[in-house]
Chain A
Amino acid sequence: MLADVAQNTLDGLMLGSAYALLALGFTLIFGVLRRANLAYGPAIMLGAYAATWVNLSFRPGLFVLALVTIGGATVAGAYVERLCFAPHGRRTLSRDAAAIASMVGSFALWMQLEELATLWLPKHLYSFPPLYDGPQFAVGPFLMRVEYIAMMVCAAAVCYGLHRLLYRTRFGLAVRAVVDEPEAARLAGINVPRVFLLVFGLASALGGLAGYLIVTAHEQVTPMLGMWSTLKGMIAMMLGGLGSLPGAVVGGLALGLIESYSQSLFGPQYRDLITYLVLFVLLATRPTGLWAMLAHRPAVAA
């Protein structure tokens, strides 16, 4: 019984690291641009499809596949930024109207990228090489997969790296200035469109990394990957608290835990039902998310 709880917690945290990585990219875009990029998942999907194609054609090493996924997602992300986000920043639109136009545009490109990927590789399922082909790790009675451990390590490293980037570098200072006051940042000599493009590229690359780790863990690529990534990333972001980086991590881990517990207790259909129920109740009662609840709670004596 206790072992079940521990195994579920472990599974949830490992699954949650993947969601946290997805949510971090999403949050970076939302936090800086105040706009939702629905084509985030499909860009990841295109990267994963590119890697699958390279894998089928040349059978290169794992490192090359990771680079191709990240590169593909970044190129697709930059395309989305140029077509849906950059044009709406320059015009004299209200912020809300620009956000809506960007979101609808990114939805349109979602359709486009998804069809492009499925025209390229039309089968419903392609296998993808795993990171590690040996048996599962066992620590005491608990099973752990190498892919998920890699995911946890990557999520932690990305968190640390992003924090360093945003709070310890000149570029990070520029990003934070743009977040706080884009007009003042522009007057201070910051090239705001360039910051937007770089943040977008960085977020897409993070998405690509998340995508690579996810397909290598699942050992397969399907046309559902685009919608799946967008949905899981958005749900994790909303659970943790919209626009907060620590929130993205907390939200991702929480989503992983909710899924692994409800899956083992009630099965897959109820797992999704419970996930959406938690999201709905949280948004209706505490829309600022889990991180705000944790952060503002007075410290409890241990």
Chain B
Amino acid sequence: MDDYALGVLINMGLFSFLALSAYLLLIAGEMSFGQQAFFGVGAYAAGIGTAMWALPLPVAALAAMALGAIAAWLVGLPTLRLRGLYFAMATLAAAEMFRILFELFHWQRSVDGEPVGPDGTQGFRGIRWVLEQGIEQAGYAAIVFALLALVLAALFVVERSRLGATIRMVGEDAELAAVLGVNVERVKLGVAAAAGALAALGGALYAHHNTYIEPRNFDIMLGVHSLAYGLIGGLGTALGPLAGVALDIGLLESTRAFQGYRMIVFGGLVAVLLIVRPRGLLDEAAVNRIGARLRHRGAP
């Protein structure tokens, strides 16, 4: 595989974390325009950890996830009782506040005689832990996809459990769930925090892949894309958002034939796809059908 293809592959993996983060909130019934904020928090936190304080990436990434979860919890606290466009706009406002705070954030310290750290709109360069460890592009791809597989496995386990059923129940009908004794607020806050941690993990890996981040990376476009991935791919399974990512980044970015017209093709394709499958490629009904077929084939 050449470096270009590997780069596309890694990008698919990185944005899958963000798409899954938006997906988690979607199955809990909330549409967030603001998950890019926690992606950004993760990117900055992990970058500060490895580049400024010489922490190993795993430690920095864990700290980033904790910070992402806390930030998402704090944003969720006053907003999660809102629904639909109200919640979407509240999270958008929060995410833009984070982006502007990144622009105002200056904190540098001297590492080997060079100032390192976030420098407002100038960005944050020199996040070189991966290079310093001698990890090649292919090795990094393996790390990203191993972590993604781990996250997917965890999501599959959760979705098959009672907790997963509770989350979807809250998403379908929060009032009914409350009547049945579910603590809706706690479930939603828990989901928001988990989604924040997931986005932050993606951000941490993103910062170390690019070695340079700037506030503009975490703008509204990124957030709406990550939300759209789940809605295009379908919310029946955690594989839905990945299908959305694969369609956008995998299919269009890698096929250089569409260069310059990528968004025209992508936009038209998605609009037509939504006419045929308004609830996405892998919606609940499709997942049930496929699941039933698989079980049928598996039976003696």
Contact = CB atoms under 8 A, between A and B. Distances in A.
Does chain A bind chain B?
Answer: yes
B100 A276 contact: yes
B146 interface: no
Contacts of A36: 85
Given A108-B270, A109-B267, A284 B78 contact: yes
A110 interface: yes
A84 interface: yes
A235 B92 CA distance: 10
Interface residues of B, number: 40
B134 interface: no
Nearest to B88: A36
B267 A112 contact: yes
Given A115-B261, A280-B79, A285-B78, 4 more contacts: A105-B270, A108-B274, A280-B94, A287-B82
A60 interface: no
Given A101-B278, A227-B220, A280 B97 contact: yes
B103 interface: yes
A114 interface: yes
A165 interface: no
A87 B263 CA distance: 22
Given A100-B31, A108-B266, A276-B97, A242 B231 contact: no
Interface string A113-146: 1111001000000000000000000000000000
A234 B275 CA distance: 25
Contacts of B272: 83
A30 B79 CA distance: 21
A238 B33 CA distance: 15
Nearest to A287: B86
Interface string B232-252: 100000000000000000000
25 contacts: A84-B274, A87-B275, A88-B278, A93-B279, A96-B84, A97-B278, A100-B231, A101-B279, A104-B228, A104-B231, A105-B271, A108-B268, A108-B270, A109-B268, A112-B263, A112-B266, A115-B263, A235-B93, A269-B100, A273-B97, A273-B101, A276-B94, A277-B93, A280-B93, A283-B89
Contacts of A116: 264
Given A36-B85, A88-B278, A283-B79, A108 B264 contact: no
A276 to B, nearest CB: 4
Contacts of B224: 38, 107
A279 interface: yes
B214 interface: no
A276 B260 CA distance: 33
A84 B270 CA distance: 10
Contacts of A108: 228, 266-271, 274
B93 A104 contact: no
